[in-house]
Amino acid sequence: MTVRPRIGVTVSDRGATLTWLAHWLAVRRAGGRPVRLSAGGRTDTTGLDGVVIGGGDDIGAEMYGGEVTLDLRIDPDRDRMERRALDWALHADVPVLGVCRGAQMINIHLGGTLHQDMYTAYRGLPRLRTPLARKRITLAPESRLARLMGGGRVAVNSLHHQAVNRLGRGLRVAARDAHRVVQALEHPAAGFLMGVQWHPEFLVFRRRHQALYRGLVRAARE
């Protein structure tokens, strides 16, 4: 019997039941054993073979030198927990997949910045917010993401309003949408360090999106 790699999944302490269940299913279908991580629950990464930094609240602007505003829903305890998890994973060369907020967290952790509101940063950007795959993005041809998902264009969902601005150290853009908003990033020199701006856990029965979890679990086995 093949041992399932233990994949930590970070989620919020509140309102994350559906998100956790979607990640749980995606990791299980890929051959992994999901382990829930949250600021108010388990935070210990000992024994994990891979990590998913999940979606959720906005990231506090003080973490990347942005302007602090009062109208954002943030979770400072989770911010700190995920920074510690990323520190551990990068030093231990453990594979990491960032999802939505998680992609942004990877970027910030490596010294990058965010657009606090992409609708302000990108003039004329349609206000699309849906868990359905209604947005078309283009994968960078030479990226690891393109090799995982099959290259070309892919339909994704959209539940974010923050977006990657300046890239962090060593990162490259792996996908953009038609308005040039960064939709995925990756670190070509790392074993497996990738972030996507959409929510593949809600598209788990679409082969190209499930490929992200299969890639993570495969890297965790190596």
Please list the residues that pair with 52 across neighbouring strands: 9, 97
**Active-site residue (options: 100, 115, 160, 186):** 100
Dihedral (C-alpha) 62, 66, 71, 75: value to the nearest 10 degrees? -30
Q: How many residues does the chain have?
A: 222
User: Per the residue annotation, which of 23, 115, 186, 201 is the catalytic one?
Assistant: 201
Rounded alpha-carbon distances, angstroms, from residue 208 to 53, 121, 148, 213:
19, 29, 8, 10
Pair 55, 19: CB distance under 8 Å: yes
Q: Specify whether 201 is catalytic.
A: yes
* Strand, coil or helix: 125: coil
Cα separation of 28 and 182, whole Å? 28
Identify the active-site residue in 109, 115, 199, 209. Answer: 199
Sequence-distant (6+) residues with CB within 8 A of 176 are 137, 138, 140, 182, 183
Q: Which are the contacts of 53, defined by CB distance < 8 A and separation ≥ 6? A: 10, 82, 85, 86, 96, 97, 98, 99, 101, 102, 103, 105, 106, 195
Does residue 209 carry a catalytic annotation?
A: no
Reference 157, options 215, 111, 208; nearest CA is 208
So which residues are the catalytic ones?
100, 199, 201
